[in-house]
Each structure stands twice: as structure tokens, then as C-alpha cells.
Structure 1
Amino acid sequence: MNAHAFRLAGAELLALPSGGLFWPQEGLLCVSDLHLGKSERVARRRGLMLPPYETRATLARLEADIAATRAGRIVCLGDSFDDLAAGAALDEGDAQWLTRLMAGRDWTWIEGNHDPGPLSLGGTHLAEARVGPLTFRHTASTGAQGEVSGHYHPKCSLAGQSRPAFLCDARRLILPAYGAYTGGLRCTDAVLQALFDDPAIAILTGPRALPVPLPRATRRSA
């Protein structure tokens, strides 16, 4: 899988090249910020037409990760849909695809700022979830320990190329956005810099998950 193995709060985790997080001991695959239906939401709100393929590209990536890891438990860390209406407006084929992926699996939807309420889908809908030493929530909280979150869509540059990236220190992990049409926030942004103590790493996505020291623009601790 070309994954990077690391530990958080005693949990042995794998950062996948796709931007997914796998916890082998729990058979748990975690993804964040799918933003399914973004093209539909942009067309509805702004009148701009984007190629309507991002949902399929994202679901294909998710299906591949589920097959590779054989995960029986899925946690989606919020902003799974670009808004609640986008969730209801999924193409019938895409909705059926998602339903097939969910079938027979323990599936948890964490609330995000784009989808802050229950969806008309199966699975469990929670504000946050605690599994062993880890807490899964959408947005990082100050002073957290063993926290896994998303929301910021972090990106990091290497050799002039920007890639979505995991950010991690001894206390917390922020996942990159998993969705195909998502933008990102530079890992040197002050908001992200303030959340991480040294030593911290960025794990870049791509052909393989590549860990590098977290670039520092400032030296602050949360």
C-alpha cells in the first residue's frame, strides 16, 4: 500500500497514499472531507458548471482503500457532503454505489461544518466518536490528546509541488481532504502551525505516503 506507519496515543496507524487513515488493530478506515456533491452545490449556489465527476472519483478511491485494507469499520470525519442538500441530490448511481460500500460495515458519519445534521443515509451519525485511546472529530480542539480530525485540508510542498498531507505530533493528527475537488490550506499557515508541538511531521500523499518534518513558519505551541 506504500503507507507510512506511525503511532498516536499508543495506536499503531497507517497513513495511506490516498489520504485515508487505517488502524489495523480495529479494522478501521478513516477518511475526512469527502465533499461529495460539490459540483452540484457549486452549480446550485453560484451557477458555475464543474465536470460532475468528483463524486465518482472520490467513491472509486474509497472503494479501492476499503478493498486494500479489508476494513469493516469506516469513520468519515465530517464534511462528507458539500452541504446537506448535496447529500440528498446525489446521482442515483452514485447513491447506490455509496450504499453498496456501506453494506455490512460499521459506518460512522461525524458531523462537519458543511453537513451539521443527520443525513438520510444509514450508519451512525455522531458529533464525535471515541475508539480506544483516540477521539475522532471534525475540527481540532485546543489541548486535545489522541485526537484525529480533518476540516483544514492541509497541504505541504516538496520540490515545488504541493500535495495534500497528514499533519501529526505526539498529541493529534489532522487528515488531508479525501475529496477530488477540495482545495487546501498550506501547512505553514499560522492556524495549523499553532496546533502542533515539535517534533511534528507532515505525511505527504501521492504515489507513496512520504513523511517529512513539518515545515515551520513560526514557533508556537497549542
Structure 2
Amino acid sequence: MASHQFIFQGHTLEARGDGALFWAAENILIVSDLHLGKSERIARRGGSLLPPYETDDTLSRLDTAINQTHPAHVICLGDSFDDLTAAGQLDERHQTWITRLQAGRAWTWIEGNHDAGDTAFGGTHVAQLAHDRLIFTHIATPKTGEISGHYHPKATINLRGRAVTRPAFLYDECHLMLPSFGTYTGGLKTTDPALSQLFTKTARAILTGHAPIEIPMPR
């Protein structure tokens, strides 16, 4: 998987084309907003019946990212499950899959607004994690050095005469935000005030995909 290196708070990080972030110096893989069990949660609440394949696809891509980077530590930045009931109702195959991915490495579940609270899965469940001047959290605040998710950012670029929109990493001097890693998740354009007001005018966007592209954050 192709990746794009950049500097945040003095650390060299890699924005992977699949939407994961890799911190090679610390051997940490970071993903955000897996939203596992989303199709089940929507059906349970009387919504549309979506094909229940998103958990397989999300876990398969996470499995690939882990196999390619061999991290000693995986950090999930919240909303890993679409709600706590969905976490408890994953089928046995998916539960076993997650347990296998966790084997032999540290694993931190950051609590999100969808999954605030512990689940039955191993690892550490915390509201946020601080490490070497970086703060791993779900929703960005004014604190400097935060790495967050929640907003599912996406950016649009003109490629060969046509507009292309992709999930994107966003960063400036103070904040770094990851795109959603989950399969059944939408996105918020960088032109939305929730994002344009959070990031400074020097902010950059790194679009995901086969060949990640860094551009000034569209506003």
C-alpha cells in the first residue's frame, strides 16, 4: 500500500492510501471510525436493510494494513463499533477475527461518541491516550498535538479535468485528523465550517487512494 510521509509535531508519520496512519518510529498503526456492525445497527433501529458485508470488508482491510506494517501497537480512535449493542452482537467469526488481530500486540480502544464504554474485546479502553507530545482522541478540541477522527473528512481535487472526491487526512500546526476507515461511512467535505474553522489557513489535506496526494486543504 502506497503511503505519503509528512511531519506533525516533529514526528514523521505515514498517511497510508487505505486511510490508516503509521508511526514507524514507534511502530504504531492508527485507524479511526471503523463503525463495525453498522448495517446491523441500522436494521435494528428500523432503517434500510443494507447488505451486511461492511464488517468483513473493514476487518479485511485492517488485516491487510496490520500484515503490511507489523505494528507493536494498534490505536483505534473511537467509533470502532457503531454502538455498544453492535459490538456485543458481532458474530463469532468476526469476534475471533478481532481477537486474532490483537494477538501479540498492544491494542488501545479510544472511546467515541458511538461506543463510549467498555466492550468485551481485549485491549485497553480509554477516553484518550497521550504519548510523546501527541494526544490520541476521538473528537478534536483546541489542544495542540491532537490526533483525532469523528468527522470522516473528505476532500475534492481536480484530476485531468474532472472533480475527484476521496477520504482525506487533514493537518496543520496543531491538529491531525484521520479519515474514516469503516466501509459503511460517509464523509464531511473540508469546505464544511466544522472543519474549515477548526484548521488554520496553512492546513493540508492528504487524499487517500492508490497514490495519496497532498494538497492545500480545500475551503
1:139 and 1:47 map into 2 onto residues whose CA distance is 26
Q: What is the letter of the counterpart of residue 179 of structure 1?
A: G
- Is 1:151 aligned to 2:153, yes or no? no
Matching residue within 197, 202, 205 for 1:199? 202
Matching residue within 194, 212, 217 for 1:214? 217
Identity %: 54
Output the TM-score relative to the length of structure 1: 0.95
Kindly provide the CA deviation profile for residues 45-94 of structure 1, in whole angstroms up to 9, marking residues without a partner as x.
02421111100100011011111111110000000000000000001111
State the 1:197 CA deviation. Answer: 1.1
Number of equivalenced pairs: 215
2:129 and 2:205 map into 1 onto residues whose CA distance is 24
Kindly provide the CA deviation profile for residues 95-142 of structure 1, in whole angstroms up to 9, marking residues without a partner as x.
111110011110000000000101111000000001112100000002
Q: State the SS of the aligned residue for 1:26.
A: coil
2:211 and 2:91 map into 1 onto residues whose CA distance is 32
Could you list the structure 1 runs, at least 4 aligned residues long, displaced by more than 6 angstroms after superposition. none
Q: Are the aligned partners of 1:127 and 1:137 in contact in 2 as well (CA < 8 Å)?
A: yes
Aligned counterparts, 1:28-107, within 5 A: 28-107=28-107
Aligned to 1:5: 5
Q: Are the aligned partners of 1:38 and 1:82 in contact in 2 as well (CA < 8 Å)?
A: yes
Q: Are the aligned partners of 1:34 and 1:179 in contact in 2 as well (CA < 8 Å)?
A: yes
Larger mean Cα displacement after TM superposition, 40-49 or 129-138: 40-49
Q: Are the aligned partners of 2:156 and 2:218 in contact in 1 as well (CA < 8 Å)?
A: no
Kindly provide the CA deviation profile for residues 125-168 of structure 1, in whole angstroms up to 9, marking residues without a partner as x.
000001112100000002x2111000000011123221110011
Kindly provide the CA deviation profile for residues 1-38 of structure 1, in whole angstroms up to 9, marking residues without a partner as x.
32110111111100000000000011000000000000
CA RMSD of aligned residues (A): 0.8
Q: What is the letter of the counterpart of residue 141 of structure 2?
A: S
